[in-house]
Amino acid sequence: MFHHSFEPPEFRAMNLIANRTGALIWAAFLPPGIRLRRATPMDRAVRAMFFAEMRAPEREWAITMADSTWDSFVTDQFHLREGHYARLYPDADVMMIEARGGAGGRFAVVGTVTVALANASDGRRIARLVTIEIDTASRGRGIGTQVIEAVIKSARLQGLSEMQLSVAFTNTRAMQLYRRLGFQPDASIEDADLSPVLDMTRSLV
């Protein structure tokens, strides 16, 4: 269920639909060739595959690990992450990203994105980009960029003051993308020895 404390008039009718369809509120600013839908339990295997693709670069650090052991490790990590996020963001919108471009111009699932609303320590309502993962074969098409831009615009229209996210220090490609989209790091690169992830924030005001 979508929850927020500020509802501009232009979103009132849309929110009635968003409460039923899930992803519509975040997809309002997407171009025609990309759409979002709420994830279902049937999507779990595909989401696990996207997670495994995201972790694939780490495989070279575990060269002594058998493939089957690595696969089991990544699967366990996915389930642990899902449980952690479910506890931390119980009302998050977990969505599948679909893009046109398959056979016959049909829409196909190319990724997943999770967005949550939260209260900052000073009481402000903020948005959090919990995860976004794009299928390896669909990268380079600007899909992730357009989804994040749409989420930013939707969050701003809802009256949220900022958006936060966390990214692994090793994921330099994602960090570069987030910087281009206006996210600023909350710490310096030297803090990588203290934490494996970098927190980033983008003002929406």
Low-confidence ranges of the chain (pLDDT < 70): 1-23, 102-103, 187-195
CA dist 87 → 13, 116, 143 (Å): 30, 12, 28
Q: Answer yes or no: CATH 3.40.630.30 is held by domain 9-44+92-203.
A: yes
The whole-number pLDDT of residue 11 equals 33
State the greatest distance between any 2 C-alpha atoms of the chain, in Å, as a whole number.
Answer: 58
Per-residue model confidence (pLDDT) at position 164: 93
Q: Give the start-end residues of each E strand in 44-161.
A: 93-100, 107-119, 125-134
Residue 184: the pLDDT is 93
CA distance 81 to 55: 13
Tokens of 31: 């171009």
Assess contact for 134 and 144: CB atoms under 8 A.
Answer: yes
pTM for this predicted structure: 0.82
Residue-level pLDDT at 187: 66
Q: How far is 205 from 84, CA to CA, in rounded Å?
A: 30
Predicted local distance difference test score (pLDDT) of residue 152: 96
Residue 3 has a pLDDT of: 33
Query: What CA–CA distance (Å, rounded) separates 58 from 169?
Result: 12
What does the pLDDT read at residue 113? 96
Report d(CA 92, CA 75) in Å as an integer: 22
